[in-house]
Amino acid sequence: MPDLLTHALVLYVVLTVASWRIEWLTPSFVTVGMMGAMIPDLTKIKLVVPSHRVESVLGVPFDWFALHTLGGSLVSVLIGAVLVPSRYRTRVFSLLALGATSHLLLDALLINPSGYSYALFWPLTGYHPPTPGLYLSTDRWPALAAGALAALVRLHTRRLRADRGP
């Protein structure tokens, strides 16, 4: 699943570079941001528990795809933020939201036969924004590019830490 790996690596790069200037942005918080980048892909739960099963249990219309939209991701981010101690909630909320947003924005760049993305901003609007169609979710090159960039950032981060000393 090169798509999920790409999302995590992009956040690793962005947040690790930000951590060079932001003191509280420790590796643990970088990991939180990377987890946020995986939130929209919670829709993959449908492979194990189909939407129609949840719908029959709850008795209301249900679709896992809602998690892959702005509204569904926001609900997931809020749940994640509530699960941590109150002193970390703002940071965790911000990092999870950044991760989920980057995921949604990167997915808006996917090749789609119609030339339009999915209803990214649901429930605010059902608008399907046009997509530039840069890559497929199955393409390996975005994961390879993000991996190479992540390796460079990791090496530079190690050098910075070595220069600072113990």
Mean pLDDT, rounded, of the chain: 93
Task: Output the pLDDT for position 155.
Answer: 97
For residue 163, name the pLDDT band (cuts at 50, 70, 90).
Answer: confident
Cβ neighbours for 130, distance < 8 A, ≥ 6 positions apart:
115, 116, 117
- Tokens 């036969």 belong to residue: 113
Q: How far is CA 29 from the centre of its chain?
A: 14
CA dist list (Å): 12 to 54, 99, 109: 34, 10, 19
Is the pLDDT confidence value at 1 over 80? no
Q: What is the mean pLDDT of residues 114-136?
A: 89
Query: Percent of the chain scored above 90 by pLDDT?
Result: 74
* Prior bond of 50 cis (ω within 30°): no
Answer whether 106's CB lies under 8 Å from 159's CB.
no
Q: pLDDT at position 166, please?
A: 61
The whole-model pTM stands at 0.91
Q: DSSP labels for the chain?
A: -HHHHHHHHHHHHHHHHHHTT-TT--HHHHHHHHHHTTGGGGGGGGGTS-HHHHHHHHTS---GGGGGSHHHHHHHHHHHHHTS-GGGHHHHHHHHHHHHHHHHHHHTTB--TTSB---TTTTT-----B----B-TT-SHHHHHHHHHHHHHHHHHHHHHHHH--
pLDDT digits (tens, 9 = 90+) for 95-107: 999 999 999 999 9
Q: Residue 161: which pLDDT band, with cuts at 50, 70 and 90?
A: confident
Q: Domain residue spans in the chain?
A: 2-164
Instruction: List pLDDT tens digits, range 25-48.
Output: 999 999 999 999 999 999 999 999
Which pLDDT score, from 0 to 100, does residue 141 have? 92
Q: What is the pLDDT of residues 42-88, one digit of tens each?
A: 999 999 999 999 999 999 999 999 999 999 999 999 999 999 999 99
Mean pLDDT of 113-134: 89
